[in-house]
Structure 1
Amino acid sequence: MNTSEMNDHQVAGLAAAICATAEAMGQEMNPGTAAMMAEDLCAYPVPVVKAALKACRFEVKGKLAMADILQRVQSSDGRPGKDEAWAIAMTANDEFETVVLTDEIQLALAAAKPILDGGDKIGARMAFIDAYQRFVGQAREDAKAVNWHVSVGFDAHRRIQAVTKAVELKRIPQEHGQKYLTDLSIVPVTEEGRAIAGLLTGAVTQPAPALRQKLGLVKNSMLEMRQASAERKTEMRIEAANELADRRALLIRQAQELEAKRAAQ
């Protein structure tokens, strides 16, 4: 059961509000019809539905229809529009950026990624928007609340900025934002972990010989990136994209496991 569902008293009150809204729009509505519409809307928070009815009174020309109410209810769920979603997805495609994105953006980006990796940005955008609207439509049909989560990038400073902005936009609760910032600040317990973290934070570390060799390869790759031509930079980004997706998926899975362990304590 959705925790936002109305009780019987609220449903009855909503049915009355629907009748009153229809009357204000010059339409007579059968109480039974209004009650049925209220039942269909009971999975949504009362203030959201009432705000949608008010918007209908000002915006809808003609008779009040369920589609008019539902459109306004769903558009207030906090999910970004297709253009903003695409902009967020493009930021998420940069391995250095920390991005706060929705489940639907992440799924749509995965669907468009093969086209994007092929260099067709216009085609990728079309595929992304088509998939995004489909995923959003399904989520809204299921009355699923929007879920924003953090995709961690390599740049340590941008992590703080991204999470702080997400809290300011109320995309993630303040307590969740603080937890993200705390977790991202935890120093790994192993020397290897500290050495890897040093690449992100600039902290001075002394890695083991085997790891030092691996880090050397990473630094060489970064140097090559700086010296490469614009065309080669694009090629290198495309080559790194699939590996980056795997790393992010692992990081998200580890965060979920950590959250599950903490909840079980």
Structure 2
Amino acid sequence: MNTSEMNDAQVAGLSAAIIATAEAMGQEMSPGTAAIMAEDLCAYPVSDIRAALKACRFEVKGKLTMADILQRVQAADGRPGKDEAWAIAMTTNDEFETVVLTDEIQLALAAAKPVLDAGDKVGARMAFISAYERFVGQAREDAKQVNWHISVGFDANRRIQAVTRALQMQRISREHGQKYLADLSVEPVTEDGRALAGLLTGAVTRPAPAIREKLQLVKTSMLEMRKASAERKTEMRIEAANELADRRALLIQQAQELEAKRAAQ
């Protein structure tokens, strides 16, 4: 809720809630001070402010301060903490994994990429956290809502799992999530499909003759892979690394576009 959307009665009610919280914490606060604090908090939803005041009553030792309230109000905006953000960022290293991340995580990952590419994971984490806290601080100062978006990996099953989890955590809208799930939906599994899946599960199913031939080709290919020479394995690792580099390049490009939009505002 912006200042223009909060009327005088709401500001007065919020001021009274701030005074009551201060008194509950053993502190006297003048109506003028409470009114100033209420005005400064008008950019945030009233429900988040009241929840923050309640948290202050239970958690804060000493006098109630604006910093105490803001810390708890801003934590309710849905942006993950620095450690969770770093863990999410590192998930992008797996090109098969579908990752749901915020604009700030993507921007911070782009800032830390040179250090990460140099092989210094500790330094990369420090660079990421510094950049992430800066981007989050700026977004909160601008009262910008959190924006979660999806970076799609190669594994179709993981895509559905990631989108479903993001929906459950309310990180993406139901409309957005349902659209993704509809795009990722597959045809019902046939008996031949179950036979193919039996390669992984060990389940015994009678496939059609044509499918039996395909199964044999798959088995032969799997045996060849197991017998692959060290040289071929190296080539495969290089190919996987190139795919990961392409994904990272796309994330960096998107981050640069986000940064350009922020600069233009």
TM-score bracket relative to the smaller structure? 0.7 to 0.9
Aligned to 1:35: 35
Relative contact order higher in (CA < 8 Å, ≥ 6 apart): 2
Residue by residue over 1:34-73, the C-alpha shift from the partner in whole angstroms, topping out at 9 and shown as x without a partner, is 1110000011111110011111111112211111111111
1:228 to 230, 233, 254: 233
Instruction: Give the CA deviation at 1:136.
Output: 1.0
Q: Distance between the aligned counterparts of 2:75 and 2:89, measured in 1?
A: 20
Aligned to 1:50: 50
Bigger mean CA offset, 175-184 vs 4-13: 4-13
Residues 20 and 74 of structure 1: CA distance in aligned 2, closer, same or farther (over 3 Å): same
Aligned length: 216
Q: Distance between the aligned counterparts of 2:119 and 2:154, measured in 1?
A: 23
Instruction: Give the CA deviation at 1:239.
Output: 4.3
Residues 107 and 250 of structure 1: CA distance in aligned 2, closer, same or farther (over 3 Å): closer
Instruction: Give the CA deviation at 1:224.
Output: 9.5
Aligned partner of 1:12: which letter? A
Uncovered stretches (5+) of structure 1, i.e. residues with no partner: 187-222, 253-265
Uncovered stretches (5+) of structure 2, i.e. residues with no partner: 187-227, 256-265
Aligned to 1:191: none
Aligned to 2:162: 162
Give SS of 1:100's match.
Answer: strand
Instruction: Give the CA deviation at 1:242.
Output: 3.9
Q: Distance between the aligned counterparts of 1:110 and 1:74, measured in 2?
A: 24
Q: Distance between the aligned counterparts of 2:9 and 2:230, measured in 1?
A: 63
Residue by residue over 1:228-249, the C-alpha shift from the partner in whole angstroms, topping out at 9 and shown as x without a partner, is 359x83x665544442234457
Is the 8 Å Cα contact of residues 88 and 101 (structure 2) preserved in structure 1? yes
Aligned to 1:86: 86
Q: Distance between the aligned counterparts of 1:77 and 1:176, measured in 2?
A: 19
Is the 8 Å Cα contact of residues 89 and 109 (structure 1) preserved in structure 2? yes
Q: Distance between the aligned counterparts of 1:225 and 1:163, measured in 2?
A: 37
Q: Does 2:113 match 1:96?
A: no
Bigger mean CA offset, 237-246 vs 153-162: 237-246
Instruction: Give the CA deviation at 1:23.
Output: 1.3
Is the 8 Å Cα contact of residues 86 and 129 (structure 1) preserved in structure 2? yes
TM-score of the superposition, structure 2-length normalised?
A: 0.72
Q: Distance between the aligned counterparts of 1:226 and 1:12, measured in 2?
A: 74
Give SS of 1:62's match.
Answer: coil
Is the 8 Å Cα contact of residues 110 and 252 (structure 2) preserved in structure 1? no
Please tell me whether Structure 1 or Structure 2 has the larger radius of gyration of its CA atoms: 2
TM-score of the superposition, structure 1-length normalised?
A: 0.72
- Trace 1:72-151 onto structure 2 (pairs within 5 A): 72-151=72-151
Q: Distance between the aligned counterparts of 1:251 and 1:118, measured in 2?
A: 22
Note the aligned Cα RMSD (angstroms).
3.1
Q: Distance between the aligned counterparts of 1:134 and 1:28, measured in 2?
A: 34
Instruction: Give the CA deviation at 1:13.
Output: 0.5
Q: Distance between the aligned counterparts of 1:100 and 1:247, measured in 2?
A: 15
Aligned partner of 1:21: which letter? T
Q: Distance between the aligned counterparts of 2:125 and 2:247, measured in 1?
A: 20
Residue by residue over 1:200-257, the C-alpha shift from the partner in whole angstroms, topping out at 9 and shown as x without a partner, is xxxxxxxxxxxxxxxxxxxxxxx99995359x83x665544442234457899xxxxx
